Structure 1
Amino acid sequence: MKRISYICWVLIVFSACQKLENTIDIELETSDNSLVVECYLEAGKPYQLMLTETKSYFDITNICPFVRHALVVITQNGIKDTLVEAPYSGSGCSSIMPYWNTDSTRFFNYGSNTRCPSSANTEFVLEVWDTLNDRYVKASATALPAVPIKTFKAEFNKDSVAYCLLTCEDDLNTFNYYRMTLHKFSLSKKDPNALFNHVATNPYFDQVLYDQALFANGEIGHASNYDFYRTDTAIGTIYHISKAYYDYLETTRAAQSANLNPFVEPSKIATNIQNGYGIFTYLAYDRDTLYIPW
């Protein structure tokens, strides 16, 4: 009787496995390629912009996403500045000679020698014309004031391992959004396997915060784990960011997480680019370096 029961159980499992093999057809929506813009305005630094386009899931992966021969204009206080495309030594992606930001952590394929003004509340308007494919996108951004770092310190436990704390003052009368990053030793590194010479080092933490969500005492901050030792160097940065950039960061990170998990619903990325995707924003920040003592 036991042998018969065992055989029945195997047949049931085999039958269930056969049902799991049923083919399911999924209809994927088709979409036209759209322009993607990344432009971060920083006081006193040149205008720089990355212009690419979306690709279909089934497009050939080695197709270069850079958009060539576009007209890119940034306007502030009625003054228009046209960004120039980075030079290419050939036709492929690897032939670009990109523009780098000052700490060599990001590169761009359009740039200008014009320095971004530092006046708070200045409004900037971006317009991009794709001259080859008749596409047009537009966006606007407002300069926010930087918020000074209030506390940047390391405290040790009994095992002589320290955590780092980074805080700033928060105006409780307004809604504010922040991005806080902490790097160990350096903001950038050289990667011999990268397509270009420099890539951004992954920060120890990179936290986006909304003041009304968790903080109500006029101070906002974030702390690391106990993971720092004597003579280590920590670089702390606090960005005062717009709601549009906050939403963009939150949704892009959610989309990245969903892409790695088949059981999570895909996330729609928030953008302030009209008729396209990406972000056009002003980066107002305060940065300091902490040398952890003996």
Structure 2
Amino acid sequence: MKTVSFLTKKLGFGLIWLLLGLGLFSCEPDPIEIDLPAHEPKLVIATQVFPAKYMVVQVSKSFSSLAGDGKEMNADTTFLKTLAVEHALVQINFNGQTETLKHVRNGFYVSRNIPQHFQQRYTLTVRDSVSGLECTAATEMLAPVNFEKLEPEVKRTEKDTTVTLHFTLADPGPERNFFLISLVGANRKNLLPKNKIGSFNAVQEQIILVNHGAFTNGKYEGKERLTLETSDTLLVSLSNISEPYYNYLQLYQKSGSLMNQLTGEPINLPTNIQNGYGFFSAHNPTAQVFKISER
């Protein structure tokens, strides 16, 4: 999958060169015409596996960054809905069987009949009957993992309530392992000062990535200060993910907003989608729910 760095980010440099040009030359240079190739849309894939044979696949379309201002489009829910692919044939092949997923809405396709055979190979095929676009991908189902310790610490004052999430992971084996922690009902905004990062986009605020290099003596102990959303229910999930998917999420965090994930140029993100963008991952999370008001 590819993302985009919008031209507005280069505006400051452009103004500097413009002023230098006016000072050095007495005449205006002839304009240079740039012929950019037309953007060719492709399908964008995201997947999730849930217990009890559930699998969800989201299908959308990429678009050109030249279509408009990225920030404005990112806030335009009507425009975002136009990217959803609503008339696709989405199928998963596994163990000699083929399951067709049911369309729900907003580009989401769901099946309740896909057994979770760990180390089993799953192949995705998507064909959009409206645009004619199609793509395919394959992945391996990874075994679920659990937190060794997971506990939110709640502190209340007259002004506000803060929550610090304490967690411990145990390395499941000698091989290289990669983990995805997802947050629902809270975020990590304006945190992690050690990284000198002042703010995060929605995806960055809601996921934590941990790799094998962070473990000491087979353990990883972490803590995250969280900002609660309107609900006081916090859901924390943990997934064992593949190294390619980990690398994809790392770059996804750095690349910016949802707009950047759907555009077609010019920064490459790793992908396992043939003739498309995104990532087909069969990671299976384990989750815990905490009622913060009761703690």
* Superposition TM-score, scaled by structure 1 size: 0.65
Matched-pair contact (CA < 8 Å) for 1:179–1:240? yes
The residue number in structure 1 matching 2:139 is 141
The residue number in structure 2 matching 1:69 is 87
Residues in 2 aligned to 1:59 and 1:269: alpha-carbon distance in whole angstroms:
21
Measure how far apart 1:126 and its partner are.
0.5
State the SS of the aligned residue for 1:147.
coil
Residues in 2 aligned to 1:32 and 1:42: alpha-carbon distance in whole angstroms:
33
The residue number in structure 2 matching 1:166 is 167
Measure how far apart 1:270 and its partner are.
1.6
Identity value in percent: 24
The residue number in structure 1 matching 2:38 is 30
Residue 111 in 1 paired to residue 126 in 2? no
State the SS of the aligned residue for 2:119.
coil
Measure how far apart 1:68 and its partner are.
4.4
State the SS of the aligned residue for 2:210.
strand
The residue number in structure 2 matching 1:215 is 215
| Larger displacement relative to structure 2 (60-69 or 76-85) | 60-69
Matched-pair contact (CA < 8 Å) for 2:203–2:253? no
Matched-pair contact (CA < 8 Å) for 1:42–1:116? no
Please identify which structure carries the higher helix content: 2
Measure how far apart 1:249 and its partner are.
1.3
Structure 1 residues 259 and 142, CA gap change in structure 2 (3 angstroms):
closer
Residue 254 in 1 paired to residue 254 in 2? yes
Q: Deviations over 1:131-186 (max 9, x none)?
A: 344433111121111111111124578x8966321122113411111111344579
RMSD of aligned Cα (Å): 3.9
Q: Deviations over 1:37-89 (max 9, x none)?
A: 22222232433322221112234764822334332211111110122334xxx
Q: RCO higher in 1 or 2 (8 Å CA, sep ≥ 6)?
A: 2
**Unaligned runs of at least 5 residues, structure 1:** 1-14, 87-97, 99-106, 187-200
Structure 1 residues 24 and 181, CA gap change in structure 2 (3 angstroms):
farther
Question: Which of 111, 116, 122 is residue 124 of structure 1 equivalent to?
Answer: 122
Matched-pair contact (CA < 8 Å) for 2:89–2:100? yes
The residue number in structure 1 matching 2:236 is 236
Residues in 1 aligned to 2:146 and 2:275: alpha-carbon distance in whole angstroms:
35
**1:201-212 superposed matches below 5 A:** 205-212=206-213
Measure how far apart 1:210 and its partner are.
1.3
Measure how far apart 1:286 and its partner are.
2.1
Residue 44 in 1 paired to residue 52 in 2? yes
Measure how far apart 1:34 and its partner are.
1.0
In the alignment, residue 110 of structure 2 is paired with which amino acid?
A: G
The residue number in structure 2 matching 1:176 is 177
State the SS of the aligned residue for 1:225.
strand
The residue number in structure 2 matching 1:78 is 96
Aligned residues between the structures: 239
Residue 268 in 1 paired to residue 268 in 2? yes
Residue 57 in 1 paired to residue 65 in 2? yes
State the SS of the aligned residue for 1:51.
strand
* Superposition TM-score, scaled by structure 2 size: 0.65
Residues in 1 aligned to 2:58 and 2:86: alpha-carbon distance in whole angstroms:
11
Residues in 2 aligned to 1:258 and 1:82: alpha-carbon distance in whole angstroms:
27
Matched-pair contact (CA < 8 Å) for 1:42–1:282? no
In the alignment, residue 181 of structure 1 is paired with which amino acid?
A: S
Measure how far apart 1:243 and its partner are.
1.9
In the alignment, residue 143 of structure 2 is paired with which amino acid?
A: P
| Larger displacement relative to structure 2 (117-126 or 232-241) | 232-241
Q: Deviations over 1:251-284 (max 9, x none)?
A: 2222217989xxxx96422211111111211132
Structure 1 residues 59 and 291, CA gap change in structure 2 (3 angstroms):
closer
Measure how far apart 1:202 and its partner are.
7.5
Residues in 1 aligned to 2:203 and 2:143: alpha-carbon distance in whole angstroms:
26
Structure 1 residues 150 and 38, CA gap change in structure 2 (3 angstroms):
same
Structure 1 residues 174 and 19, CA gap change in structure 2 (3 angstroms):
farther
Matched-pair contact (CA < 8 Å) for 1:141–1:281? yes
Structure 1 residues 152 and 129, CA gap change in structure 2 (3 angstroms):
same
Residues in 2 aligned to 1:226 and 1:40: alpha-carbon distance in whole angstroms:
24
Residues in 1 aligned to 2:274 and 2:51: alpha-carbon distance in whole angstroms:
24
Residues in 2 aligned to 1:209 and 1:117: alpha-carbon distance in whole angstroms:
27
Residues in 2 aligned to 1:253 and 1:204: alpha-carbon distance in whole angstroms:
9
Matched-pair contact (CA < 8 Å) for 1:154–1:165? yes
State the SS of the aligned residue for 2:82.
coil
Structure with bigger gyration radius: 1
The residue number in structure 2 matching 1:152 is 150
